[in-house]
Structure formats: structure tokens, C-alpha cells
Amino acid sequence: MASKRREGEHPSVTLFRQYLRIRTVQPEPDYGAAVAFLEERACQLGLGCQKVEVAAGRVVTVLTWPGTNPRLSSLLLNSHTDVVPVFKEHWSHDPFEAFKDADGYIYGRGAQDMKCVGIQYLEAVRRLKVEGHHFPRTIHMTFVPDEEIGGHQGMELFVKRPEFQALRAGFALDEGLANPTDAFTVFYSERSPWWVQVTSTGKPGHGSRFIEDTAAEKLAFEEQLQGWCQAAGEGVTFEFAQKWTEPRMTSTDDSDPWWAAFSGVCKDMNLTLEPEIFPAATDSRYLRAVGVPALGFSPMNHTPVLLHDHDERLHEAMFLRGIDIYTRLLPALASVPTLPSES
């Protein structure tokens, strides 16, 4: 992956680094700057641009490339614009400078989670448009706020809006994780987050994480918490900061047309896929809960998992390879033939 380019930087990498410099960092993300950046991209690419303010200062930006057959459901490419906080003293470079070292590694908060993916979608669409392609299905790119704090003022509200219904999403791609091996991980479901805040008056309390996925186990766990709090005595309570109870699975069966399109491209490109359940939670859960099958996929192999970590970084060659992958995935997904439910 040595990439000391004499000929200068690839414009897609330059755009990625610009996006990394926008400080959409929790708890006070500069969403205004991100939305302005995306509006400019829509303008440059000749895409429709819709802004849906789902809560005060919380805008979902939707960039749209219309398909040739409006009767078909659309392909939704989702990414969140916010990033998690940093401990600057633990970084080798300023996390919002998008520093690129001599080997081609780009350092920045959001380099893996998930500003890379947002730009990869845009650049794949740009390439396909420039080449003069048209596909039957509409492609919508949604850029959502607040995923990192649970999506309550982001995707959770957006999926309930008429503007979301109007997108008529038939299938979605969202974030996944890097994979240090030769394989690419694809996520077809998630763990259900239950964040519990235990408050104990009189003694210091402590929160615990128990993340199991079966309804029976979750019920047993809630009873256990109640039991512990009661046993601890007067004035000990707990409340859920997150409590997800609607686990859904996206089909990874070869008979499913979306999976067949997705996995078929990976096969053609000789990419090994490892289907897994996401170890944390993403906005995919909201999409799946309203009936939109979603796969979590961030095209990074041979890359250590550095989301939320110090020195989060991505090699520019891997970033560019991701654009190649989406440039193959989008035509296949946006050309999935009419489904029985659509005829």
C-alpha cells in the first residue's frame, strides 16, 4: 500500500480530509458547517438536496440521484455526520487537522467512523454520473446527526417523518467496522443496547453492561436489576439510558435479491465477506425496525479497528479502494429487478 504520490493528492482524498476538518464532535457538533459542506457537494454533483430538521438544530440532509423507474423502491445510503470526542493528549496529530503522514495514513476523528463512508458514497455517485450511467432505482444519501449519542434526535425521529416515507427506501447500507484481516465484515443485525444508570444514595453506585439479545434473557436481567436495587436498600433506583427491544435481522440468504446483489459484487471483486452481528449499536436499528433491510458495511480490510480510539486513521489507498467497491455495489443494488411487492 505504499503510496508516495509524486503527482499530488487524489481529489477524493482531499475532499475526505476537508470533511474530517469539520468539527462535528460531540457534545457540541458544528452541524451547520457539515450541512453547508453537503449542500455544496449536492450542487457540484447535480443532486437533489433536501434538509429535514427533525429537532432544533438537528438536520438530516438527503442527497438524491433519481432513478429511471420511480415505481421502484429506493436504495438508501446512510452515514452519520457526528463523531465522538477526543483526548487530544493521546493523539500523535491534531484529530481535526486530517494530517496525512508520509506513508499515506490519514489521522482524524471520523476517519473510520464514519466520514470515510459518507465521502465514499458521494465519490462513487460522482464517478457513475460522470460516466453517464442511469439506474432504475433512485439512490438517496442520508447524512444524519447524533448517531453517537443514540440517534434520538436523528435517525430515530427521521424514520417517523413523512419525508422519510416519501423516500420509499427498499434497502439500506450503513456503517460497519474495519477488519484487520483480508476479509470485509458485513453486519446483518446488531446487539440491542440497554444502557442502565444505577443511582445509589448513600453508597457510590456503579453501572454494569449486560448485553444479551434474547427477550427472555433481557426480561430476566431487568428483574435481576430490580432485585439488586431492592436488596441494596432504600433510595437505590435504576433507569435505562438506552433500552432497545426490537432486534431485527437483514437477510443474508442467497434467495434475497438485495443480499444477492451485494454479495454478488463482492464475489466478482474477490472480496471475502464475514457476516456478523454488530457488537454495538448503529442507526441501522431504526431502519430495520421500520422494515427497511439494512447492511452495515464500511469497506476497510487490512485495517485495525480504531473507531472511537486515539489516533483513529485510515490509509488513503484503502479509502480509495472503498470508492471502487461502492462504484460496483451501487449499480448492482440500484438495478435490483422489480420485487414481488413492487409489481
Look at residue 175 and give the partner it binds from ligand MET, Zn ion, none, a contact being a CB closer than 5 to 8 Å depending on partner kind: Zn ion
The phi, psi pair for 276, rounded to 5°, reads: -145, 170
Distance from C-alpha of 322 to C-alpha of 330, rounded to nearest angstrom: 12
How would DSSP label each residue in 80-141?
E--B----GGG-SS-TTTT-B-TTSEEE-TTTTTTHHHHHHHHHHHHHHHHTT---SS-EEE
Q: Is 309 helix (H, G, I), strand (E, B) or coil?
A: coil
Nearer to Zn ion, 20 or 72 (CB): 20
Among 150, 205, 264, 275, binds ligand MET (CB under 6 A): 150
Give the range of 10-18, 61-69, 199-207, 274-282 binding ligand MET by CB under 6 A.
Answer: 274-282
Indicate the DSSP class of residue 161: S
Q: Give how many residues touch ligand MET by CB under 6 A.
A: 8
Annotated catalytic residue within 82, 123, 174, 283: 82
> Which secondary-structure segment (H or E) carries 236?
strand 236-243
Rounded to a whole number of angstroms, the minimum distance from the CB of residue 110 to Zn ion is 9
CA 138-141-146 angle, to 5 degrees, is: 150
Q: Residue holding cell 462513487?
A: 124
Write down the catalytic residue from 147, 156, 190, 312.
147
**Binding-site positions:** 80, 113, 148, 175, 308
Residue 278 C-beta: closest distance to ligand MET, Å:
8
Q: Is 311 a catalytic residue?
A: no
> Annotated binding residues for Zn(2+), as ranges?
80, 113, 148, 175, 308
Q: Is 253 annotated in the active site? A: no
Q: How near is the Cβ of 280 to ligand MET at its closest, in Å?
A: 3
- CB of 251 closer than 8 Å to CB of 258: yes
By the rule CB under 6 A, 193 interacts with ligand MET: yes
Alpha helices by DSSP H, the chain: 11-20, 31-45, 115-130, 155-158, 162-167, 215-232, 257-268, 284-289, 316-333
CB of 322 to ligand MET, least distance (A): 20
Does 26 bind ligand MET (CB under 6 A)? Our answer is no
Name the residues that contact Zn ion, by CB under 5 A: 113-114, 175
Residues lying near ligand MET in the complex (CB under 6 A): 147-148, 150, 193, 242, 280-282
What amino acid positions are annotated as catalytic residues? 82, 147
